[in-house]
Structure 1
Amino acid sequence: MKQTTASPVLDLDMLKAVVGDEPEVIADFLADFRRVATTALEALQAALQAGELERISGLAHRLKSNARTVGAMALGESSARLEVEAGQGRPIAELKTSIEALERELHTVAGRIDRLLA
């Protein structure tokens, strides 16, 4: 794993505060997060198609927590917004826009993780 430093996309100091600074442990957490977050995005898109607002809110809540744990704070904030919007019963079109924004943020974080794990 390459040097782990704070970045605007991924603040690994947040993750280190939780798991320590052992490179192998950090790499495992990042790889797991990337996999889980990608699966969560797919589930969010399916829930959006089905109009399942409660499910969207729950998935966004879990993604928010996971993102913040690994230091992906902007992704955590996008997830938090989506959680609130779905909980408020916002129209599907608004939620779609928020999920698209979350997807872009996740793509950025995933790219950073890929570079760190290369």
Structure 2
Amino acid sequence: MNLIRENQKKQEEISTAFAMETHESQPLETLVDIREYDVPYLVRTCMDLNIRAGAWYTVTPTTHSVELTEMDAVTKANPKVLAFDIECTKAPLKFPDANVDSIFMISYMVNGQGYLILSRSVVGE
């Protein structure tokens, strides 16, 4: 066991010496591994397999996996963007209550075109 510990210590010393020598000239050489702890598994898988959002794929099951074939670029999906905001009455510093409060305005945008819906009974003219 002592021999193993001595060899491990020598290896650490050699690694440290190598890191110090190459630190100034080639700092990236001292990296052992890069880990992406903050990237979700689904996102990392899509990046690794070159699966892109907005593209159409033909999915063919195989024995132990699936085969993805990207379809012609002409048939790519045309994404639509929808954003909305709903304003309602409420008591100060409280969340709205559906039994008491009413919606007085809904605004929404679809692909850059905005719309506004008002409740004249609440907002007034």
TM-score normalized with structure 2 length: 0.18
The structure with the largest helix share of the pair is: 1
The structure with the largest strand share of the pair is: 2
**Higher RCO (Cα < 8 Å, 6 or more apart):** 1
Larger radius of gyration: 2
